[in-house]
A and B are shown apart, each in its own frame.
Chain A
Amino acid sequence: MNVSSRRFANAVVLRVEGRLDQDTCAAFTTDLMKSVDTAAAEGGAVVLDLSGLEYISSAGLRCFMLASRQAKAQHAKIAVAALQPMVAEIFQISHFNLVFQVFPTVREALGAVSGDAAAAFEKG
């Protein structure tokens, strides 16, 4: 599994590729929590770009839940975007679509969580 991040103003876009399961969730959680801390320090948001995520298990979904709780505690925003069809269906099946704001694209997610970040994204 690969994770890479990009900054757009006060938002961190975390791109996740591969499979997120019991074998990969510990390392991913560390990266994700750092991003939440960074975003929270600037009153911003984390957007998870899941266009490269092929599969997510319950252990992987738990990482998202932990991040959601931390973001809420630190008054940061968190959203997910660009889910592949199978991952989108697993989100619905597990009722995670009721916990997270889900957007078709990273652009739309940034537009919803931070005007500054959306403007920075448009500039490239």
Chain B
Amino acid sequence: MRVRFWGTRGSIPVALTAADVRDKLAQALVQASGKVFNSYEEAHAYASSELDFNLTHTFGGHTPCVEIEIPGEEYYACDLGSGARPFGVHILAKQARKPATINVFMSHVHWDHIMGFPLFGPAYVPGTKIRIHGCHDVLEQAFRKQHSAPCFPVEWEQLGATIEFVKLEPGKPFLINGMTVTPHLQLHGGDSYGYRFEYQGKVVVYTTDSEHKLEDRAEAEKFAKFFHNADVVIFDAMYALAEAISVKADWGHSSNIVGVELCQMAHAKHLVLFHHEPANNDATLEGLLKEARRFEELTRGDQALKVSAAYDGLEIDL
């Protein structure tokens, strides 16, 4: 089982600007001052091992799209944010003109989670099968509306793929090609749903656009059960805690600190911070990651929790 992140940003896509690239480059040059590199490989090795993560990477700009890979011919993904465009390119390259079957599990239909579908290449390939799963009654309506004038020039009926909408029930396990997928209701405007994917003893939980009310112990226990013993929890950590429960309370998102606490309650193994705030630059996001890791150290019980921050291109093998 493998998790591949195609889009990790919340709300709206962002991109590094020319000034951002220059700044990273200048900082890298300062850190490398006095060193001599005789080849690209030497420089690459130095950059990979010595420089700060935020100088050599970017946390990426695409909105949510996360692929869950299991053995077999079909594809599985959570959400179709702008990360769906490179995900589609990947599928087309891998299929080499052979139509694909793609299974999507939608957290909800806010724009940042569906905006990639109009540029999702496989949707234009005749013979492709796309099954869009979700718990919302408005699932099909949201996708069709996006594919209509004046928002987009290609009408839904012009798409080459056969597209099917599959309604799921919260709390009710759904079996697909040997993988069990269980949706879980979450607190977000218009509701959202997390998904627990179980395949041959491995567990991945995708839980984005989900606010947690800290005073509600019963709610925390429900989520701890949903995350229980997960190998990976992909968690909405859009804000720092103070922000999440003050000016941005009731905005439907959570924080790095609550992610650590819930994963510790659940005995989960790996927390992946996700749905990054578009206003945060790479240095800020790395700061939030370091703070989450330190909080985990300070509050660790009998089991360590690995903490990472998702970026576009990250792959996690289970």
Interface residues of A (CB under 8 A from B): 22-23, 25-26, 55, 57-59, 61-62, 65, 68-69, 86, 89-90, 92-96, 98-99
Please name all residues of chain A whose beta carbon is closer than 8 Å to the beta carbon of B215 when the two chains form the complex.
Answer: 22, 25-26, 59, 62
14 A–B contacts, CB within 8 A, in A order: A22-B215, A22-B217, A23-B217, A59-B214, A61-B242, A62-B214, A68-B246, A86-B298, A92-B291, A93-B291, A94-B241, A94-B295, A95-B240, A95-B241
Task: Enumerate the 5 nearest inter-chain pairs by beta-carbon distance, A residue then B residue, closest first.
Answer: A94-B241, A95-B242, A95-B240, A59-B214, A93-B291
Please name all residues of chain A whose beta carbon is closer than 8 Å to the beta carbon of B295 when the two chains form the complex.
Answer: 90, 93-94
CA A22 to CA B264, docked complex, whole Å:
14
B167 within 8 A of A: no
Q: Are A89 and B294 in contact (CB under 8 A)?
A: yes
Inter-chain contact count A-B, CB under 8 Å? 59
CA A95 to CA B243, docked complex, whole Å:
8
CA A67 to CA B246, docked complex, whole Å:
11
CA A35 to CA B167, docked complex, whole Å:
51
Interface on chain B toward A: helix, strand, loop, or mixed SS?
helix
CA A55 to CA B264, docked complex, whole Å:
16
Q: Are A61 and B241 in contact (CB under 8 A)?
A: yes
Please name all residues of chain A whose beta carbon is closer than 8 Å to the beta carbon of B245 when the two chains form the complex.
Answer: 58, 61-62, 65
Contact among B220, B242, B298, B299 for A96, CB-based, below 8 A: B242
Contact string, B265-303, partner A, CB cutoff 8 A, digits 1/0? 000000000000000000000000001101100110000
Q: Are B261 and A57 in contact (CB under 8 A)?
A: yes
- Extra contacts, 13 of them, besides A22-B220, A90-B298 (Cβ < 8 A), are A23-B217, A25-B214, A57-B299, A58-B257, A61-B242, A68-B246, A90-B295, A93-B291, A93-B294, A93-B298, A94-B257, A95-B241, A95-B243
Total interface residues on B, CB under 8 Å, equals 20
Contact string, B221-261, partner A, CB cutoff 8 A, digits 1/0? 00000000000000000001111011000000001011001
CA A61 to CA B245, docked complex, whole Å:
9
Q: Are A65 and B257 in contact (CB under 8 A)?
A: no
Give chain A nearest CB distance to B18 CB in angstroms: 30
Known: A90-B295, A93-B294. A22 touches B214 (CB 8 A): yes
Please name all residues of chain A whose beta carbon is closer than 8 Å to the beta carbon of B246 when the two chains form the complex.
Answer: 65, 68-69, 99
Please name all residues of chain B whose beta carbon is closer than 8 Å to the beta carbon of A94 when the two chains form the complex.
Answer: 240-242, 255, 257, 291, 295
CA A86 to CA B105, docked complex, whole Å:
41
CA A92 to CA B241, docked complex, whole Å:
10
Known: A26-B215, A57-B261. A98 touches B220 (CB 8 A): no
